[in-house]
Amino acid sequence: METIGHFGAWSVLPPVLAIILAIRTKQVYLSLILGIWMGWMIIHSGNLFTGTLATMQGLVDVFKDEGSTRTILFSGLIGALILFIQKSGGVQGFVDWMENRMEKLDPKKETVFVQFFSWITGVLIFVESNISVLTVGTLFRPIYDRLKISREKLAYVADSSSAPACILMPFNAWGAFIIGLLITQGIDDPFSVLFSSIKYNFYPILALLAVPMVIFFRWDFKGMKKAEERTRGGQVLNVGAQPMISESLIESKIEEGVVPKARNMLLPIFVMVASVPLMLYYTGRMASANPQAEDFFTTMSQGSGSTAVLSAVVFSIICAFIIYKIQGIFQIRKMAEMTIKGISEMIPLAILMLLAFAIGNVSKELNTGIYLAELTKTWLSPSLLPFLLFIISGAIAFSTGTSWGTFGIMVAIAVPMARGLDAALIPAIAAILGGGIFGDHCSPISDTTIISSMAAATDHIDHVRTQLPYALILGITAAMGYLILGLIN
């Protein structure tokens, strides 16, 4: 069987099977490995020997991609940062600060205030989705635990306020990447087109608005309701649940004699957040042929998002080294030991990221996205274009676990289709972007979904199960919006 073109319906089977098995069995690692193996078996015409060898090589080849390697390194270094801010008293200092602010509140309003504040924090940190969920989870997990709000709710709030905010306020790597894709399609003013598409980007808008509605009106579906009741009863996780970060790491004791100070956490996190746009600009200048002739945002559009994120967490750790050394909290040797310990605690997360990237790569080899996109080419009408682009983009993002990969596939297909059908271009682009976010929210192999589970210290499949009803309802609503928009136009 040739690897040129796609493999028809077979190309969809490996990622979908892995996702279904992961949700049903909660054996995420085994399910992903099985899906990867099946994909390479299909590519090699069912040959057991070459298919198995290709599976092993596929895992190794993940590290050929610089962006994937940087993301895996980022996942490990997160552990060092979390351990630093725990043992330096930064987390406890922030908890104490929040408790002082909540003393004047009615006890019944405390949970609403904290959840709403965590949502606002996620929205404001729109520079990068993984940075957003990491910050929200790190800041608010101990407060959620104290108030007996479920970690599944925290993961939902973090996940649903990160990517939607990034796509709707695209002065970040997301906007830079999308503008770059639009430029390759010959769009003269990509910046204007992207901003014009925001008002038609129904799913991210709905996802952002839904979170405060869930918080204020306690719209908890069955899975989330059970999680909330279980947590109020004193049980943090389900029986047999496997949190994406070890309890020993998140419950690390403050170093003896250290006075809790919120700034020991807030300063490193501020450095991490602020470093992302600066590093996007820097890497953009390095990649640009004529940086002096370009404005700030154009230069950012050529930057490396994975480099910016990895650099941000490294700078944050360096900042922690400096401020803790100045305060005399830790010696350099102690902090070096803590860095290794923190990274070692994140090995399960790094392995999961590796497997997620590997199944994304085999889906690319199978051309899963292209097959799904081509299903509609022969009968597509202009009025149905936004609706179908949203559905297809959602299916691709769900199957491959990457919204950015979905954008890369669909922009190259949808822009020529819209021109050929004489359909409205801006709603079509919005449908692609919204569909990518929708599928990403539903997919257990999405890196943002994985990081959200880690940041909230909850079981990954429990996060997927409790978030899925919200995503599906909002996704159906958004799809109906595109259908009506297409028929009106």
Taking only the tens place, the pLDDT of each residue in 347-376 is 888 888 888 888 888 888 888 777 776 776
DSSP state of 9: G
Residue 315 within any structural domain of the chain:
yes
Residue 213 within any structural domain of the chain:
no
CA angle at residue 162 from 123 to 253, to 5 degrees?
90
Residues 6 or more apart in contact with residue 266 via CB below 8 angstroms: 90, 94
pLDDT given at position 3? 39
Residue 126 within any structural domain of the chain:
yes
Tell me the pLDDT band of 384, cut-offs 50, 70 and 90.
confident
Supply 186's token pair: 């010959």
Q: Where in the sequence is the domain holding 161, given as residue range(s)?
A: 66-200+243-349
pLDDT given at position 24? 83
Residues 6 or more apart in contact with residue 2 via CB below 8 angstroms: none
Nearest alpha-carbon partner for 40 in 31, 30, 50: 50
Residue 147 within any structural domain of the chain:
yes
Least confident of 55-59, 263-267, 381-385: 381-385
Residue 137 within any structural domain of the chain:
yes
- Arithmetic mean of pLDDT, 394-409: 86
Residues 6 or more apart in contact with residue 107 via CB below 8 angstroms: none
Residue 397 within any structural domain of the chain:
no
pLDDT given at position 349? 80
User: Up-side HSE of residue 152: CA atoms within 13 Å toward CB?
Assistant: 31
Burial of 141 (0-12, 13-18, 19+ CB in 10 A): buried
Burial of 108 (0-12, 13-18, 19+ CB in 10 A): exposed
**Residue reference for tokens 């998140």:** 250
pLDDT tens for 435-444 read: 999 999 999 9
Longest pairwise C-alpha distance within the chain: 71
Helix (H, G, I), strand (E, B) or coil at 218: coil
- Arithmetic mean of pLDDT, 187-213: 91
Burial of 175 (0-12, 13-18, 19+ CB in 10 A): buried
Supply 65's token pair: 């991609």
pLDDT given at position 363? 82
- Arithmetic mean of pLDDT, 23-33: 84
Tell me the pLDDT band of 378, cut-offs 50, 70 and 90.
low
DSSP state of 243: B
pLDDT tens for 106-165 read: 777 889 999 999 999 999 888 778 889 988 998 899 999 999 999 999 999 999 999 999
DSSP bridge pairs for 459: 243
The domain tally of the chain equals 1
Burial of 247 (0-12, 13-18, 19+ CB in 10 A): exposed
Question: CB of 363 within 8 A of CB of 369?
Answer: yes
Residues 6 or more apart in contact with residue 298 via CB below 8 angstroms: 284
Most confident listed range (103-107, 151-155, 183-187, 397-401): 151-155
Nearest alpha-carbon partner for 264 in 83, 88, 100, 98: 88
Least confident of 12-21, 57-66, 224-233: 12-21
DSSP bridge pairs for 243: 459
Output the average pLDDT for the chain: 87
Q: What percent of the chain has pLDDT over 90?
A: 40
Least confident of 102-106, 133-137, 430-434: 102-106
Tell me the pLDDT band of 100, cut-offs 50, 70 and 90.
confident
Q: What percent of the chain has pLDDT over 70?
A: 94
pLDDT given at position 293? 64
**Residue reference for tokens 């936004």:** 386
pLDDT given at position 357? 86
Tell me the C-alpha distance between 20 and 279, whole Å: 38
Integer distance in angstroms from the first to the last C-alpha of the chain?
44
CA distances from 442 to 37, 231, 447, 473 (A): 23, 24, 12, 11
Is the model's pLDDT at 268 over the cut of 80?
yes
DSSP state of 431: H
pLDDT given at position 212? 96
Tell me the pLDDT band of 5, cut-offs 50, 70 and 90.
low
CA angle at residue 288 from 284 to 290, to 5 degrees?
130
Helix (H, G, I), strand (E, B) or coil at 460: helix
Tell me the C-alpha distance between 230 and 265, whole Å: 30
CA angle at residue 62 from 56 to 64, to 5 degrees?
115
Residue 432 within any structural domain of the chain:
no
Is the model's pLDDT at 379 over the cut of 70?
no
Tell me the pLDDT band of 4, cut-offs 50, 70 and 90.
very low
Tell me the C-alpha distance between 278 and 367, whole Å: 35
pLDDT given at position 231? 95
**Residue reference for tokens 């954008």:** 407
Checking 190-198 for CB contacts under 8 A at 24+ apart, the result is 191/297, 193/425, 193/426, 193/429, 194/170, 194/429, 195/170, 196/426, 197/426, 197/427, 197/429, 197/430, 197/433, 198/168, 198/430
Tell me the C-alpha distance between 44 and 50, whole Å: 7
Query: CA gyration radius for the chain?
Result: 22
Helices (H) and strands (E) in the chain, counts: 25, 0
- Arithmetic mean of pLDDT, 318-334: 90
Residue 208 within any structural domain of the chain:
no
